């Protein structure tokens, strides 16, 4: 086994990739051939060959495979029950809710308990880990993704081992009995430390201390957190090897230099302290990886065993996945192990560094390059300049911010004037540094929006990266340059792929009760949006960004879209234009096109101008040609004094199909358009006004005879859309119906030879 633990770690990794991609045979065959190569080259014996091969089958059955059709529902939904069981997590608190994981006795399943309550009552919640509880609430299954690239909450919870959610109305509905348990004591101590920091420290310093020492990022400004995410600096906010290394340095300094303990006692103390600290730091996979890695190293030194760093990392990897089979699906777990593996395998190259800056640049390069495919898979972009920025930011956090946060734990014992001085010093210096990062973000924020990455492309990427690092380790610079060029070509291919693809799409996104259509021409000749709706805040009546953040933005990023050639806004209802302001903020939009009766003095439309939007008014009979593609304006014919009837009506040909986008026009306008443009062929019609009975006139359908009707409508909406009579009328005229409330997003996919319609659900 010695020197070969990595085989079983790789077996587990390949198994989980096979599960997620559904390519069991491919990965099993590749794994078998690799083991055959190792066996005949005498790198492994027959026992290892057989053990490693069959471990693939073990892990393939060990890790859970997500099947949306077979997701367990231990209780009927939306009904009130009294659940009995045990709290099996820390209590997470925020201003608006309290939540924890609950192991239910009857079904032996984990459930997520959520109590929406005021902050003061949350603070007084007296229960902790291992408390036995009786909870009254409603069971809900988490929602599934209904759009391409949308975050799938149902899958996420399944991969965390959670079967559903209990919604609790009042704190009185949770009755528990605390039991003595070491984890309960640790979590209670953590809660007290967090509360003490909030009460004694400046809020900003308290936020950094909680994030960098206790793994609670709730005190970090959301803008700062997003800034760090954009620039590949999120690892600094997630406790990992850097933080654990600093902790070990501080602990060893105190117990050996100050308290003058022997090295043996110090080692024993650290071995007991590190698992406890991992829990105090929130128990995230990255801190467990770093803590257990340190534990393994200390045990190796103590027992004078000799294992390679790869073996030690593999032992930690296997220990964690055997302890919790769901942990392998955690993004932080995957990032942490990939980066650490890359740093270990590049140690010979690091030895060639001429100075500290050169070493920092090499470490940053490897750390960033190891996770590029994962960044593309989860976030659809990567930031190449992050390699340089990390060289400056990591030392700043290592030498100042993190140590200062540890020192701040002692502030309650220091004189007030000294605390004030130290806090002021930290806040001014840290703000200066954050402003420095913001300035860079403003001047040179040029992320590569990659879109989704294929398994084959990811494999090519890692092959060229590993071969390049092998060459650099062996000082074969010419070979390293060759593989580096191939790596660059792979990245370039990912970016330019849409521009060489003959495939085009029209996508009706499922945004609930609203419209959002994305048109992508082949070879990325043009990207057009027709509407971008949103929900609104009931207090301010301002459009909320949830539709943009959860549906529109992920879709555009997943398709590798950075530039939008034009957005057609049919009319001035929030369910059609509410997300436009957010699209303008985050994407390069060349033009916004509206109907001639739009009130551009409205507050919302002034916001568009402030965001730099070029706004064009389109009149009836206009032919709007952008990037060689034409849209014909069929309405409004005149000012109807009604926003719905004033909807911009567009006619175009896409993928050899003729399309009619109708906005929210009513029956009278439909009849006018049918009378005036009766000679037009229509294959696909966007059914007006979400299937309301105010629209879809029989004469309109009789005139145009569309083959397909697309309805963008919210599930269980309060308007009862689409109306049954509308559906019956469409069916009477032979129209095949596609609707977002039942089928999720609907896509029309075409190229030069074929075209087909593909619903996201019920495929």
Say if CB 388 and CB 513 are below 8 A apart.
no
Sign of CA dihedral 679, 680, 681, 687: negative
**Residue 609 token pair:** 């101008």
* Backbone phi, psi, residue 300, to 5°: -60, -45
Say if CB 755 and CB 656 are below 8 A apart.
yes
Where does 607-754 show beta strands of DSSP type E? 615-617, 623-626, 629-635, 649-654, 657-661, 684-686, 708-711, 736-739, 746-750
Average pLDDT score over residue span 81-91: 91
**So what's the pLDDT on residue 357?**
86
Asked whether residue 121 carries a pLDDT value surpassing 60, the answer given is no
Asked whether residue 124 carries a pLDDT value surpassing 80, the answer given is no
Average pLDDT score over residue span 102-120: 84
Buried b (16+ CB within 10 A) or exposed e, 726-745: bbebbeeeebebbbbbebbb
Q: Which long-range contacts (CB under 8 A, 24 or more apart) does 496-504 make?
A: 497/451, 497/560, 498/451, 498/523, 498/524, 498/559, 498/560, 499/523, 499/524, 502/751, 502/752, 503/749, 503/750, 503/751, 504/654, 504/655, 504/749, 504/750, 504/751
Distances (CA, A) of 1 to 5, 209, 437: 6, 42, 47
Q: Looking at the DSSP assignment, which residues form a beta bridge with residue 746? A: 508, 759
**Residue 64 token pair:** 């859970």
What is the overall mean pLDDT for the chain?
90
Say if CB 249 and CB 463 are below 8 A apart.
no
Distance CA 678, CA 671 (A): 10
The owner of tokens 């593989």 is 483
Check if CATH label 3.40.190.150 holds for domain 501-754: no
**So what's the pLDDT on residue 15?**
95
Distance CA 192, CA 200 (A): 12
Residue 532 CA, distance from chain mean position: 21
Sign of CA dihedral 81, 83, 88, 92: positive
Best CA proximity match to 721, nearest among 507, 514, 511? 514
Strands 623-626 and 615-617 come out as unpaired
Distance CA 66, CA 163 (A): 12
Q: Looking at the DSSP assignment, which residues form a beta bridge with residue 381? A: 449
Per-residue DSSP letter, 646: T
Say if CB 659 and CB 688 are below 8 A apart.
no
Say if CB 644 and CB 663 are below 8 A apart.
yes
**So what's the pLDDT on residue 268?**
84
Strands 592-594 and 615-617 come out as parallel
Percentage above 70 pLDDT, the chain:
98
Residue 600 or residue 23, greater confidence = 23
Per-residue DSSP letter, 645: T
Average pLDDT score over residue span 23-46: 92
Average pLDDT score over residue span 121-142: 84
What are the residue ranges of helices labelled H in 643-717?
667-676, 698-704
Distance CA 16, CA 21 (A): 9
**So what's the pLDDT on residue 499?**
94
**So what's the pLDDT on residue 234?**
84
Distance CA 693, CA 727 (A): 10
**Residue 98 token pair:** 């309290």
Asked whether residue 1 carries a pLDDT value surpassing 70, the answer given is no
**Residue 474 token pair:** 């062996």
Asked whether residue 352 carries a pLDDT value surpassing 80, the answer given is yes
Asked whether residue 28 carries a pLDDT value surpassing 60, the answer given is yes
**So what's the pLDDT on residue 76?**
86
In the β-sheet with 657-661, what is the strand arrangement from edge to edge? Answer: 623-626, 629-635, 649-654, 657-661, 684-686, 708-711, 736-739
CA angle, corner 360, sides to 354 and 365, nearest 5? Answer: 110
Query: What are the extents of the domains in the chain?
Result: 5-63, 69-180, 187-449, 455-497, 501-754
Place 122 in a pLDDT band, splitting at 50, 70 and 90. low
Place 195 in a pLDDT band, splitting at 50, 70 and 90. confident
**So what's the pLDDT on residue 539?**
66
Answer whether 0.75 is exceeded by the pTM. yes
Average pLDDT score over residue span 65-75: 78
Per-residue DSSP letter, 510: -
Best CA proximity match to 226, nearest among 563, 604, 545, 551? 545
Distance CA 438, CA 31 (A): 46
Helix (H, G, I), strand (E, B) or coil at 97: strand
Could you report the per-residue pLDDT of 610-648, keeping only the tens digit for each?
999 999 999 999 999 999 999 999 999 999 999 999 999
Asked whether residue 187 carries a pLDDT value surpassing 90, the answer given is no
**So what's the pLDDT on residue 763?**
53
Distance CA 431, CA 429 (A): 5
Residue 535 CA, distance from chain mean position: 21
Average pLDDT score over residue span 709-735: 95
Give CATH superfamily name and number for 69-180: Nucleic acid-binding proteins (2.40.50.140)
Place 356 in a pLDDT band, splitting at 50, 70 and 90. confident
CB atoms within 10 A of CB 196: 14
Could you report the per-residue pLDDT of 522-567, keeping only the tens digit for each?
999 999 999 999 987 766 668 889 999 999 999 999 999 999 999 9
CA angle, corner 440, sides to 436 and 442, nearest 5? Answer: 115
Could you report the per-residue pLDDT of 483-492, keeping only the tens digit for each?
999 999 999 9
Residues 6+ apart with CB under 8 A from 693: 723, 725, 726
Judge whether 69-180 and 501-754 match in fold. Answer: no
Place 387 in a pLDDT band, splitting at 50, 70 and 90. confident
Distance CA 710, CA 706 (A): 10
Place 739 in a pLDDT band, splitting at 50, 70 and 90. very high
Helix (H, G, I), strand (E, B) or coil at 119: helix
Distance CA 278, CA 323 (A): 15
Distance CA 20, CA 378 (A): 13
**So what's the pLDDT on residue 683?**
97
Q: Work out the angle between the directed axes of helices 241-252 and 263-280 (0-180°, nearest 10).
A: 140
Distance CA 662, CA 670 (A): 9
Average pLDDT score over residue span 315-319: 93
Average pLDDT score over residue span 467-481: 93
Best CA proximity match to 155, nearest among 66, 77, 61, 75? 66
Residues 6+ apart with CB under 8 A from 88: 101, 102, 103, 110, 129, 130
């Amino acid at each position: 086994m010695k020197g070969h633990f990595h085989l079983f770690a790789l077996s587990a990794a390949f198994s989980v990739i096979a599960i997620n991609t559904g390519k069991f045979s491919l990965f099993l065959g590749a794994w078998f051939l690799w083991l055959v190569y190792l066996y005949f080259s005498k790198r492994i014996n027959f026992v290892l060959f057989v053990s490693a091969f069959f471990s693939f089958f073990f892990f393939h059955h060990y890790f859970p495979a997500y099947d949306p059709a077979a997701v367990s529902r231990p209780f009927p939904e939306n009904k009130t029950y009294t659940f009995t069981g045990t709290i099996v997590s820390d209590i997470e608190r925020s201003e608006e809710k309290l939540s924890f994981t609950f192991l239910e006795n009857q079904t032996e399943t984990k459930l997520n308990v959520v109590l929406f309550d005021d902050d003061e009552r949350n603070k007084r919640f007296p229960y902790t880990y291992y408390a036995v509880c009786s909870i009254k609430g409603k069971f809900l299954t988490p929602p599934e993704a209904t759009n391409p690239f949308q975050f799938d909450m149902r899958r996420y919870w399944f991969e965390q081992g959670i079967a559903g959610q209990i919604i609790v109305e009042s704190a009185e509905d949770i009755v528990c009995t605390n039991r003595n348990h070491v984890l309960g004591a640790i979590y209670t101590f953590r809660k007290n430390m967090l509360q003490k920091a909030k009460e004694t420290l400046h809020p900003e310093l308290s936020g950094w201390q909680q994030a960098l020492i206790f793994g609670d990022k709730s005190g970090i400004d959301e803008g700062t957190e997003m800034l760090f995410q954009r620039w590949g600096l999120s690892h600094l906010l997630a406790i990992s090897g850097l933080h654990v290394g600093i902790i070990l340095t501080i602990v060893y300094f105190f117990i050996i230099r100050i308290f003058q303990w022997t090295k043996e006692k110090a080692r024993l103390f650290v071995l007991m302290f590190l698992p406890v600290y991992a829990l105090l730091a929130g128990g995230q996979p990255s801190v467990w990886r770093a803590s257990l890695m340190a534990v393994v190293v200390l045990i190796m030194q103590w027992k004078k065993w000799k294992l390679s760093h790869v073996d030690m990392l593999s032992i930690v990897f296997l220990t964690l996945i055997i302890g919790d089979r769901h942990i392998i699906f955690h993004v932080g777990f995957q990032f942490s192990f990939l980066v650490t593996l890359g740093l270990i395998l590049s140690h010979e190259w690091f030895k060639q560094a001429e100075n500290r800056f050169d070493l920092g640049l090499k470490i940053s390069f490897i750390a960033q390059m190891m996770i590029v495919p994962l960044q593309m898979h989860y976030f659809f972009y990567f930031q190449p300049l992050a390699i340089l920025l990390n060289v400056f930011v990591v030392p700043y956090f290592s030498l100042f911010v993190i140590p200062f946060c540890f020192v701040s734990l002692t502030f309650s014992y220091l004189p007030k004037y000294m605390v004030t001085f130290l806090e002021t010093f930290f806040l001014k210096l840290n703000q200066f540094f954050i402003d420095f990062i913001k300035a860079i973000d403003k001047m040179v924020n040029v992320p590569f929006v990659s879109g989704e990455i294929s398994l084959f492309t990811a494999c090519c990427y890692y092959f060229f990266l590993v071969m390049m690092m092998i060459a650099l380790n062996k000082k074969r610079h010419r070979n390293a340059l060759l593989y580096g060029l191939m790596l660059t070509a792979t990245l370039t291919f990912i970016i330019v792929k849409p521009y060489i693809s003959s495939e085009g799409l029209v996508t009706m996104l499922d945004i609930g009760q609203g419209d959002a259509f994305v048109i992508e021409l082949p070879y990325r000749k043009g990207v057009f949006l027709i509407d971008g709706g949103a929900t609104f805040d009931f207090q301010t009546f301002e459009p909320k960004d949830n539709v943009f953040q959860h549906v529109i933005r992920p879709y555009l990023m997943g398709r590798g879209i950075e530039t939008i050639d034009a957005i057609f806004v049919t009319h001035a209802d929030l369910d059609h234009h509410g997300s436009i302001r957010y699209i303008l903020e985050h994407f390069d939009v060349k033009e916004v096109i509206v109907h001639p009766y739009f009130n551009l003095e409205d507050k919302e439309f002034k916001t568009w101008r402030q965001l730099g939007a070029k706004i064009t008014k389109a009149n009836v009979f206009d032919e709007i040609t952008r990037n060689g593609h034409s849209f014909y304006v069929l309405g409004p014919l005149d000012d109807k004094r009604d926003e719905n009837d004033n909807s911009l009506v567009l006619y175009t040909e896409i993928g050899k199909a003729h399309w009619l986008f109708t906005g929210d026009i009513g029956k009278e306008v439909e009849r006018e358009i049918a009378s005036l443009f009766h000679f037009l062929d229509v294959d696909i019609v966007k059914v007006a006004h979400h299937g309301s009975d105010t629209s879809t006139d029989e004469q309109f359908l009789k005139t145009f005879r569309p083959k397909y009707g697309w309805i963008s409508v919210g599930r269980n909406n309060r308007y009862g859309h689409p109306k049954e009579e509308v559906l019956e009328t469409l069916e009477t005229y032979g129209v095949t119906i596609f609707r977002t409330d039942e089928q999720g997003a609907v896509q029309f996919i075409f190229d030069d030879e074929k075209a087909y319609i593909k619903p996201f659900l019920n495929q």
